[in-house]
Chains A and B, each alone.
Chain A
Amino acid sequence: MSTPAAAPAQAPSTGTRAMELHFEVHVLYANEARYLDGDRFGDWLDLFTEDLVYWAPTRTNRLRRQQRLSVSAPGGAAFFDETKDSLAWRVRRFESGMAWAEDPPSRTRHLITNLLVRPAEEDEAVEQGVSEETAREHAHYVAETGFLVYRNRLEHEVDLYSGGRTDLLRREADGSLRVARRTILLEQNVLLAKNISTFF
């Protein structure tokens, strides 16, 4: 599993290429936030590759000596464990006109920050399940961000979802960047919200 703490390399902070990459990814995420907050879930889905793994494991309170167990392992409890198809399934629900948890819709603001991005090694992509051919033919990048999502719903309901994302980004044939892997770690044990009807 890739977590910010386990990231093997530091993101470069100088050089024109590093700055260009940082800027490109920053704009990508700002656009993503705009889609999510603007009810443009179809546009949001287009930001992901076809072989997407989108995963938000749960987090448990463990003693320090058992901290390695504090994030649910792959195959364990999770808030999301999605493919592009299953995300599309979730998005279609919102379009049904009867998804009452978001009808009337909530007001959300996705703040995406603390961006660090660096090129990924070929085997890093393979370790995350990307096929060897794809890993060889496409440049990949590891991008870490923090997020704060504010949800205001109906009259008085307020939820704050704070967390970190680690993405594996892929340079597609058309030159665009898409998200191929996303791991979301919410800073919560008991989720302090009645549901998660948005995405991170």
Chain B
Amino acid sequence: MVKPPADTVMCVTCGAQTHRAARTGNTSEETVTITEPPAGRSWRAHSPPSADAGAYLDIERGVIDRRIWKDEGLYQQELRRVFAPSWLFLAHESQLPKPGDFFTTYMGEDPVVVVRGKDRTVRAFLNTCRHRGMRLCRADAGTTRNFTCSYHGWGYDLSGNLVNVPNAEAYPDHFDTADWGLREVARVQNHRGLVFGTWNPEAPDLIEALGDMAWYMDAFLDRDPEGTEVVDGVTKWVLEGNWKLAAEQFASDWYHVNMAHASALMVMSPTGKGPKTEIANTPGRQFTSPLGHGAGFPVHPRSRFDDAAVHEHYDYDQLRERLGSARVEGPMTTGHATVFPNFSYLPVNGTIRVWHPKGPDRMEVWTWVLVDKNMPEEVKQAQRRYNLRTFGPSGIFEQDDGENWSEIQAVSRGFVSNRTPLNYQMGLGIHDDHDPDYPGRVGELYSDNAARGFYARWRDLMNTPAWHENHTTPEGDRD
């Protein structure tokens, strides 16, 4: 049985709201002494009590308690300890070709605006005005010279500096615009066109945070020396279902394909009767990362489901030379993958996507179509059409994923349901050998190894105070 959750522990270093109370307790205007940096420049606020996430999982035995998809307290802890410190996907660099180009997205539930500055550097900022907290930019994308809040008119430049304050003469002498720039995402880095950001100033470099996963990603991102770009536009939809249901599936779950997507496989098979047995039972490998990432892919040469035009575009000998045969016949093909925590992709379908958390019960899916820059226009279009016909809200595959996730979530309301552990035992202790052809821990395709890896990483982050909860050492804020 899954262990019951341990009692939650109150913070022993400080009491609730003590920092704020100390500052706001002094009401005399003349004698205001700011003992801390202005609000927003410090993350050293009191942290709510945290639960032991390990109480909901027994990774070694392969059982999981479905309360991790439902509990509001765990969800808030995720925002603090999983989303705030992790590298999160923001945008593809091709969305921001020129200075002033911007794109608005989310990191966890925090709105951010990603913008290319005059110095061509891509930065990201919390998308909220420092004055009254109005959402600063309400367009999905565009081009601008500055961001002006539509509430009182505070204006910020592309580097996040506060450059315009209407009626500035009404502010006291110690008001310094330098203190009230936009909250900047601490680190922004790019891996082969994919722009990631983290609030954590102490985070390792992105490439380190990807670890062995980068080798698998490059089977998709590095097929061509010119690199990749995204087709114009992001397809977005929202559904009932905890974000981890999707992230876990893309990390680990080839198993569901034959059943959940039976209708799509049937339509796409040459005979119209579904795939042959040797394809349904395809051999393949699954990669599990200690950093929570996961990827799976068939290695059967006939287990391809790519678009004919895209398939014919590639020179496979050249690809083998570039990426190595193991990658061309593995993760470049009909694979699936999740970069922990909430970025996933499918090479053959050309989809990259983020599972934005929207409360414990909901996720919002944002998907882009990724193509090689060098592809002729008609091949890019073939990839785009193939993508939207198979994946996305109307895709013949993904329609059925939505049904599974929303129904799992709907069932997760019952008391008994929430105390009936679920099985994550496939491949447990059987197929976790290393494979000389692939980096990292690699086992059989049909396995829950990567799901167990995903949840082990989730548990560890959930049980580790994030940098912003550190009360004793000076925080590495952007200032």
Contact = CB atoms under 8 A, between A and B. Distances in A.
A6 to B, nearest CB: 19
Interface string A120-132: 0000000000000
Contacts of B262: 96, 98
Nearest to B235: A77
B47 interface: no
Nearest to A77: B233
Contacts of A192: 237-238
Interface in A52-107: 57-58, 60-63, 66, 69, 72-73, 75-82, 86, 89-90, 92-94, 96-102
Contacts of A66: 139, 142-143
B340 to A, nearest CB: 24
A192 B240 CA distance: 10
A75 to B, nearest CB: 6
Given A99-B400, A101-B400, A101-B403, A61 B138 contact: yes
Nearest to A88: B267
Contacts of A191: 235-238, 393
Interface in A9-38: none
Contact of A77 (B231, B402, B407): B231
B240 A194 contact: yes
A155 to B, nearest CB: 8
Contacts of A155: 410
A195 B398 contact: yes
A63 B142 CA distance: 8
A62 B141 contact: yes
A62 B403 contact: no
Contacts of B241: 194
A78 B388 contact: yes
Interface residues of B, number: 46
A134 interface: no
Interface in B253-268: 260, 262-264, 266-267
B388 A194 contact: no
A196 B394 contact: yes
Given A58-B233, A190-B238, A194-B237, A92 B393 contact: no
Give chain A's interface residue range (CB within 8 Å of chain B): 35 or more
A189 interface: yes
A157 interface: yes
Interface residues of chain B: helix, strand, loop or mixed (majority): mixed
Contact of B233 (A60, A100, A195, A196): A60
Interface in B389-427: 389, 392-394, 396, 398-400, 402-407, 410
Interface residues of chain A: helix, strand, loop or mixed (majority): loop
Contacts of B392: 79
A193 B399 CA distance: 11
B234 A62 contact: no
A66 to B, nearest CB: 5
Contact of A89 (B238, B267, B364, B398): B267
A197 B399 contact: yes
Nearest to B405: A194
B263 A75 contact: no
B253 to A, nearest CB: 15
B118 interface: no
A55 B6 CA distance: 54
A195 B393 contact: yes
Given A60-B141, A100-B403, A101-B403, A89 B389 contact: yes
Determine which residue in A76, A157, A194, A197 has the highest number of CB atoms from chain B within 10 A of its CB, and name it: A194
Given A78-B235, A189-B236, A194-B241, 10 more contacts: A62-B140, A66-B139, A69-B142, A101-B403, A102-B399, A154-B407, A155-B410, A191-B236, A193-B393, A195-B393
Report the 9 A-B pairs with minimum CB-CB distance, sorted nearest first.
Answer: A77-B233, A194-B239, A194-B402, A191-B237, A101-B399, A98-B262, A96-B263, A76-B232, A99-B263
16 contacts: A58-B236, A60-B233, A75-B384, A76-B233, A77-B368, A81-B384, A81-B385, A93-B264, A99-B400, A100-B260, A101-B400, A157-B406, A189-B236, A191-B235, A191-B238, A195-B393
Interface of A: 57-58, 60-63, 66, 69, 72-73, 75-82, 86, 89-90, 92-94, 96-102, 154-155, 157, 189-197
